[in-house]
């Protein structure tokens, strides 16, 4: 199994409504894209220091499922319409999860 973690920082002028729209848009992806085993996302609670604004943690059966998710039209639409306008920086990692 592959775990995909993505954190994003938004432009300083981004609004709380835009942040929520990103989270809401991400939350819809599992219903539209097959191959996602588990999916969790949310906005930072502001409890720590220099955190990302939004994070996603998703599990896929294998690399092929993860790549299909990235190339899926619903993912591309989400990224183009909700992420690109507010994106400042981000980081992602994919790692193997034992027991798959």
CA distance 27 to 40: 8
99 has pLDDT over 80: no
CA distance 87 to 98: 32
CATH-assigned architecture of domain 2-96? 2-Layer Sandwich (3.30)
What is the mean predicted confidence (pLDDT) over 17-24?
95
Residue carrying the six token digits 């592959």:
2
Domain residue ranges of the chain, discontinuous segments joined by +: 2-96
10 has pLDDT over 90: yes
pTM (2 d.p.)? 0.90
User: 45-83: per-residue pLDDT in tens?
Assistant: 989 888 999 999 999 999 999 999 999 999 999 999 999
């Amino acid at each position: 199994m592959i775990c995909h973690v993505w954190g994003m920082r938004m432009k300083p002028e981004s609004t709380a409504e835009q942040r929520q729209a990103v989270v809401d848009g991400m939350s819809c992806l599992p219903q539209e894209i097959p191959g996602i085993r588990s999916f969790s996302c949310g906005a930072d609670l502001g409890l720590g220091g220099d955190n990302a604004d939004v994070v996603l943690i998703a599990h896929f059966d294998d690399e092929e499922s993860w790549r299909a998710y990235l190339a899926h039209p619903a993912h591309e639409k989400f990224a183009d319409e909700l992420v690109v306008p507010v994106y400042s920086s981000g980081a992602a990692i994919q790692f193997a999860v034992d027991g798959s």
